[in-house]
């Protein structure tokens, strides 16, 4: 059978890793795909740059349109990132009848609905396993492996850079910016690292996971995102003392009232497997009605880990090229006419527990005032920790864990507490999930 011909857009970390793995594992991959898979051409912005991959047999160009307009190419790998040029190229490749494999989570989260609709009309496949959690085959697991289940919720550590930073801060007491620089040097961080530390990257990935878990359209604008920049070493230590770890989680939950879509730092009990996912590793815990909880763990970023997911998609497309299109797996796991427009909750409507840290005057009645405000909002306290004041200081740190409440109630309580004369500065609030 004729080899499947690949054109690669972008020879950066993921592009380079993909070319290398395709070459190194060529025999094994073609045994799985049933055909040989050959990279014939690739585009890169700067052809003079030293590459991590061997490009000897690959036709190189600085013009990506040369690749997508090449009539010989069966599958285009979009590995340039970003959403403007990448979107144009992907839509044009689809219009040219090419199948597309992409690692671009922002592109899918923001423009996936339009891209999949164009792909369906053109009868081509757009595959995006590498867009979420790097090398973990989580898209395939949810879309195909769990298709007999009703998915209740999922929670994941889906940004390697953020997890690497939180882990290094906790274990080695390292400085935030110093760890971020290392993540950039290792090729984990986004070109705009605020995407990592402000939760945007995790938000993109969560949206994709929620879409295929619940059969809803992609709608990144409805994802609540909060990053890790405000987490201090003190919070990490206090959480530890209370038996929790702070992790940056993406959570999607189907409730009677609607769907929760949220990304934020979260306290989780230290005995949970998810609490022990460290460094650049990612993990996604999926709770489904028939199978119960399942956990998917692996490298969430990096050249060859992400290449592993890109190539799995290439193999899927190569297999599908010999099938009738009726057998194709739907892009968002559910058939196109079954995508449901379920109500998405605002972050004020979500229900979760909280860790609160306050700096207060060490005098009688302070704690009573605070607990009264919480009681007025119907918020129940789970635990309280008061740190001894430093010598010559009249201010103390109070840490509280609350039971679950609706976020609006907590917002109202915090704004009242902040106005108390005995409370100084900001009230730190981190959401807490027991993931039971």
Dmax (CA) for the chain in angstroms is 83
Active-site entry in 98, 205, 247, 254: 205
Buried b or exposed e, range 100-127, using 16+ CB within 10 angstroms: bbbbbbbbbbbbbbebbebbbebebbbb
Shortest Cβ 301–ligand HSE spacing (Å): 4
Under rule CB under 6 A, how many of the chain's residues touch ligand HSE?
A: 11
**Residue 272 contacts by C-beta under 8 Å, 6 or more apart in sequence?**
435
Q: Is 189 in the site for ligand HSE (CB under 6 A)?
A: yes
- Is position 310 an interface residue for ligand HSE (rule: CB under 6 A)? no
Least distance CB 250 / ligand HSE (angstroms): 11
Asked if 256 is an active-site residue, the reply is no
Q: Is residue 196 part of the contact set for ligand HSE (CB under 6 A)?
A: yes
The residues with which 288 forms a beta bridge, in sequence order, are 151, 292
Write b or e for each residue in 134-171: b if 16 or more Cβ atoms lie within 10 A of its Cβ, otherwise e.
bbbbbbbbbbebbeebebbbbbbbbbbbbbbbbbbbbe
**Four-point Cα dihedral 14, 202, 178, 299, nearest 10:** -50
Q: How far is the CB of 188 from ligand HSE (least distance, A)?
A: 5
**Site mask for ligand HSE (CB under 6 A), range 86-125, x = bound:** ----------------------------------------
Q: Which residues in the 197-226 window bind ligand HSE by CB under 6 A?
A: 201
- Mark the segment that binds ligand HSE (CB under 6 A) among 3-11, 187-195, 252-260, 323-331: 187-195
State the nearest-atom distance from the C-beta of 110 to ligand HSE, in Å: 15
Choices 116-124, 155-163, 224-232, 410-418; region in contact with ligand HSE by CB under 6 A = 155-163
Tell me which of 18, 104, 161, 402 binds ligand HSE, using CB under 6 A.
161
Q: Is 301 in the site for ligand HSE (CB under 6 A)?
A: yes
Shortest distance, CB of residue 105 to ligand HSE, whole angstroms?
Answer: 6
Element (H, E) at 409: helix 407-418
- Cβ neighbours for 36, distance < 8 A, ≥ 6 positions apart: 3, 4, 26, 30
Tokens read off for 70:
């090449």
Which of 168, 190, 198, 316 touches ligand HSE by CB under 6 A?
190
Out of 128, 188, 224, 354, the residue judged to bind ligand HSE by CB under 6 A = 188
- Roughly what angle, to the nearest 10 degrees, separates helices 176-185 and 160-172? 130
| Interacting positions 119-138 with ligand HSE (CB under 6 A) | 134
- Provide the β-strand partners of residue 428: 357
What the block records as the tokens of 65 is 């349109």
Among 209, 300, 315, 331, binds ligand HSE (CB under 6 A): 300
* 8 Å CB contact between 53 and 16: yes
By beta-carbon proximity to ligand HSE, the closer residue of 9 and 189 is 189
Q: Which of 77, 112, 103 is nearest to 187 (CA)?
A: 103
State the minimum distance, in angstroms, from the CB of residue 56 to ligand HSE: 28
The 8-class DSSP code of residue 25 comes to T
The residues of the shown chain that bind ligand HSE, judged by CB under 6 A, are 134, 159-161, 188-190, 196, 201, 300-301
Active site residues: 205
């Amino acid at each position: 059978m004729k080899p499947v011909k690949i054109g690669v857009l972008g020879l950066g970390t993921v592009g380079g890793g993909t070319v290398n793995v395709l070459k190194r594992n060529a025999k094994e991959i073609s045994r799985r795909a049933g055909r040989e898979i050959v990279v014939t051409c690739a585009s890169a912005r700067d052809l003079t740059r030293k590459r991590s991959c061997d490009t000897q047999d690959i036709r190189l160009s600085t013009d990506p349109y040369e690749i997508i307009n090449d009539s010989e190419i069966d599958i285009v790998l979009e590995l340039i990132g970003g959403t403007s040029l990448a979107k144009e190229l992907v839509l044009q490749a689809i219009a040219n009848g090419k199948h597309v494999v992409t690692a671009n989570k922002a592109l899918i989260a923001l423009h996936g609905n339009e891209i999949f609709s164009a792909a369906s009309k053109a009868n081509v496949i757009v595959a995006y396993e590498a867009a979420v959690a790097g090398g973990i085959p989580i898209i395939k697991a949810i879309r195909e492996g769990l298709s007999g289940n009703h998915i209740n919720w999922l929670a994941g550590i889906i940004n390697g850079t953020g997890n690497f930073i939180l882990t290094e801060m906790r274990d080695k007491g390292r400085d935030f910016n110093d760890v971020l620089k290392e993540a950039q040097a290792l090729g984990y961080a986004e070109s705009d690292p605020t995407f990592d530390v402000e939760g945007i990257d995790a938000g993109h990935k969560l949206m994709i996971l929620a879409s295929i878990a619940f059969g809803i359209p992609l709608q990144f604008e409805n994802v609540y995102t909060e990053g890790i920049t405000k987490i201090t070493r003190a919070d990490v230590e206090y959480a530890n003392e209370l038996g929790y770890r702070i992790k940056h989680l993406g959570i999607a939950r189907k409730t009677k009232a609607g769907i929760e879509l949220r990304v934020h730092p979260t306290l989780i009990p230290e005995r949970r497997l998810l609490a022990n996912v460290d460094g650049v590793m990612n993990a996604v815990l999926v709770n489904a009605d028939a199978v119960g909880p399942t956990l998917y763990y692996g490298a969430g970023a990096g050249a060859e880990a992400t290449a592993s997911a890109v190539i799995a998609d290439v193999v899927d497309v190569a297999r599908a090229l010999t099938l009738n299109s009726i057998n194709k797996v739907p892009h968002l796991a559910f058939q196109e006419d079954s995508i449901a427009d379920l109500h998405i909750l605002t972050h004020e409507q979500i229900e979760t527990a909280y860790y609160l840290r306050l700096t207060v005057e060490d005098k009688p009645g302070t704690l009573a005032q605070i607990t009264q405000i919480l009681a007025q909002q119907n918020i129940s306290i789970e635990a309280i920790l008061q740190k001894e004041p430093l010598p010559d200081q009249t201010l103390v740190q109070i840490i509280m864990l609350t039971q679950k409440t609706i976020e609006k109630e907590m917002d109202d309580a915090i704004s009242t507490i902040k106005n108390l004369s005995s409370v100084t500065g900001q009230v730190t609030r981190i959401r807490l999930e027991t993931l039971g």
